[in-house]
Structure formats: structure tokens, C-alpha cells
Amino acid sequence: MPSRWRVALLSVEGLVKHFPLGGAGAWLDRLGGQAPRSVRAVDGVSFAVAPGETLGLVGESGCGKSTVARSILRLVEPTAGRVIFGDVDLTALSAEPLRRQRRNLQMVFQDPTASLNPRLSVGRTVQEPLQRHTTLGAGERRARVAEVLAQVGLGAELVDRYPHELSGGQRQRVNIARAIATRPRFVVLDEPTSALDVSIRVRAILLLDELRSTLGMTYLFISHDLASVKYLAHRVAVMYLGTIVEEASTAELFTRPLHPYTQALLSAVPVPDPDRRHARIVLAGEVPSPIDILGGCRLRGRCPLAQPVCAEPVTLRAVAPAHRVACHLV
């Protein structure tokens, strides 16, 4: 095992999540003697996050990054694989010990409106994690809530307001406040800025960065906004159709992307400089369905560099220190 895994705060090993297809189709599959098909949302993902770092997880819709996030927190139950947090195997815990671990493993959700209970005030929402995980009294909780709200840049007077009275940016800050209330060691950020307006997005990113260093947290930053990831993340893993295709330090990934998918993805990001209109690497067709996945490299049908060898199964392997790629041609 690479040495960095020994000091990892979170280590994901061989994570798999398949959603079985129900209904007539599956029944007919079984009848015909075939194993019932499923949506292979996450199909063998392994990575590690060191304490204090931000790992960016990027990919387009359907690549499985959100499912990875939910599997790590066991909001959905992994089909296979292990998640080691510190020295605890999260996947082996029963309900109550798992619940207790949540003090240290939090999540900021994508949709700031949908992730806040509309009937609870800001104060009530933010103090709930404290209620569930600490023995602080009501007064102490109130004080802590005020402190956390200040940390995310919200005034204490918002404590009695309801989500619908706040702007999108403020709601997302409440979301963040709730996640950091118990001073967790690890926070999963699931597209925390996608639903925000462009100028608010910048502030949210800066806030998240500041909180990480001030409170000594570790992040898994899931996003499809590559520019934000470039700013916030120390290392980046690129996902496609349920697997990681490339993983490297941020600087390395953005300057020397090796996997054709990473190259295509980066070339598609519009750059706000009219003199730098570059030729795009275009992948043919659209992302295939995660149900019937062909053997070999998953990019095979769309890759401009595809060779016969690409029909062989491919593994994620190190081609340079701290740079892993899953491609036969590298």
C-alpha cells in the first residue's frame, strides 16, 4: 500500500454501489438465467484523504460522485468495499456506533433550500447536531450557535428566521454552519456551490477554504465546476462511469492531464479570455448507460485514441509519484 494511506484520515477501499433494477426487466433476467442487471453507479473506487487536505472529486452527471459521497456516510449502503475513518471501519459499524461517528463526519448538501427543514428556524437547525452529539445545555448550545453563525458570516439576529426568509447564499451558509457545529474532522461537500449565483459562489468557496484552515478540517469536495476545484483542492480525482480514471495533485492534473477523458473535460471548460479560444477535444456521442457496461476501458466507445488493447480491463495505476491513471495508452 502506498505510504500515504497509512496517515490517511479517510480511506476508501474498493467501494462498490449497485442499484438493482427492479420490475419486470429484472424478473425476466432471472427467468432467462442471467444475473439481474443493476445500475452500477460506483464500480470499484479507492482513494485516501490525508488530514487537513481537500480532495476534489470531479466528473459529469452520472459518474457516481454523489453516490460515492453518500456511500461513505452510509446514507446509502455500499454493495461492497470498506470505508476506514481514522481507525474505525465505518462499513462494519452497527446503527448506534455509526450514528455517534457522525459527530466527526458531516456533509454540506447541494441544494440550500431543499436541505433545510422549512419549518425549523435557523437556530433550531444549527443547534440540532449539538443536541444529538453533545451534552451541552440549552444556553450553552445557543452560545455555540451564535459563534458558528458568526464564523460563517451570518449575523446572530438570523437565529429566529426561517429558511424562506433568507437568500440562497444565506441558506447555504446555514447549511455550512450546521455541518461545522460539532467541529467535525471531515466534511463532504456535495456540490456546495452549484445552486448558487456566480458572485455568491465565490464567497462560498472562500469561506469554505477559510473554515478548513481555521478549524483544521479535511474536505472531500465534489463538484463539476473545475475552476472552483482548482482553487480549493490539493488533489483531484476524476470519475467517469463509476470509476476513477485519473488522480493527481491539482497542479499536476491541470497542467499535465494524462487520461483522454480528463483532457477532454478540461478542454471543454470555457475560459474567460477571448484570445484563448482553443480547439476542443470532443468525445464522440454521450455518456453510456451505467447499466450495460462493456468490458475493458469504459471510455472505449468515445475515445479518439482508442486502440484494440483498450478492450482489455484497465486498472488505476501510478505512472508518477502521486499520479495515478487508468489508461492503457499512458
Partner 1 sequence: MSELLQVHNLTVHFATEDGLVEAVDSVSFSVRPREILGVVGESGSGKSVTAHALLRLIRPPGRIVRGEIRFEGADLLALPEEQMGEVRGARIALVFQSPRTALNPVLTVGGQIARLYELHQHVSRAEAWRRTIEMLTLVGIAEPARRARQYAHQLSGGMCQRVMIAMAIASSPRLLIADEPTTGLDVSIAAQILDLLRGLGRRTGASIVLITHDLGLVAEACDRVAVMHAGQLVEIADVRTLFKRPLHPYTQALVRSIPRIDREVAMEPIPGAVPSLLAPAPGCRYADRCARVLEVCRRERPVLRAAGASHEVACHAVEVESGTAVR
Partner 2 sequence: MPWPWRRLARNRLSFAALGAILVVTVAALLAPWLAPYDPDEPDAAAALASISVRHPLGTDLYGRDQLSRLIHAGRVDLLVALSATAIALTLGATLGAGAGYRGGWVDHLVMRGVDAVMAFPAFILALAITAALGNSTANVVAAIALTHVPIYTRLIRGEMLKARETEYAEAARTVGNRPHQILLYHLFPNCVPPLIVQATLAMGFAILTVAALSFIGLGIQPPQSEWGQMTAEGAGYVVSGEWWLVLFPGLAIMLTVLAFNLVGDTLRDLLDPRMRGVR
Looking only at Cα atoms, what is the longest distance across the chain?
68
Query: Rounded to an integer, what distance in angstroms lies between the CA atom of residue 41 and that of residue 19?
Result: 7
The site partner of 197 among partner 1, partner 2, none (C-beta below 5 to 8 Å per kind) is: partner 1
What's the closest the beta carbon of residue 298 comes to partner 2, in angstroms? 28
Contact set with partner 1 (CB under 8 A): 60-61, 167, 197-199, 202-203, 205-206, 224-228, 230-231, 254, 264-266, 268-277, 280, 282-283, 285-286
Query: Which listed option, partner 1, partner 2, none, makes contact with residue 228 (CB within 5 to 8 Å by class)?
Result: partner 1
C-beta of 168: minimal distance to partner 1 in Å? 9
Q: Which does 119 bind (CB under 5 to 8 A by kind): partner 1, partner 2, none?
A: partner 2
Cell of 202: 465565490
Q: Are 103 and 184 in contact (CB under 8 A)?
A: yes
Find the shortest distance in angstroms from Cβ 129 to partner 2: 5
Q: How far is the CB of 25 from partner 2 (least distance, A)?
A: 21
Q: Which does 274 bind (CB under 5 to 8 A by kind): partner 2, partner 1, none?
A: partner 1
How many angstroms separate the Cα of 292 from the Cα of each of 21, 67, 288? 12, 18, 8
Q: Strand pairing partners for 38? A: 20
User: Which residue, 117 or 315, is less far from partner 2 as judged by CB?
Assistant: 117
Residue 16 CB, nearest approach to partner 1 (Å): 24
Q: Which does 111 bind (CB under 5 to 8 A by kind): partner 2, partner 1, none?
A: partner 2
Q: Residue 162's binding partner, choosing from partner 1, partner 2, none, with beta-carbon cut-off 5 to 8 A by kind?
A: partner 2
Toward partner 2, which CB reaches closer, 181 or 232?
181
The alpha-carbon radius of gyration of the chain (Å, integer) is 21
| Nearest to partner 2 of 131, 315 (CB atom) | 131
**Residue 189 binds what, of partner 1, partner 2, none (CB under 5 to 8 Å, by partner type)?**
none
* The 80-85 sheet, strands edge to edge: 38-49, 10-20, 80-85, 88-89
Rounded to a whole number of angstroms, the minimum distance from the CB of residue 30 to partner 1 is: 25
Q: Compare residues 148 and 325 and give the one whose CB is closer to partner 2.
A: 148
Nearer to partner 2, 25 or 97 (CB): 97
Please report how close the Cβ of residue 309 comes to partner 2 at its closest, in angstroms: 42
Of 21 and 120, the one with the shorter C-beta distance to partner 1 is 21
In the bound state with partner 1, the residue whose beta carbon lies nearer, of 83 and 232, is 232
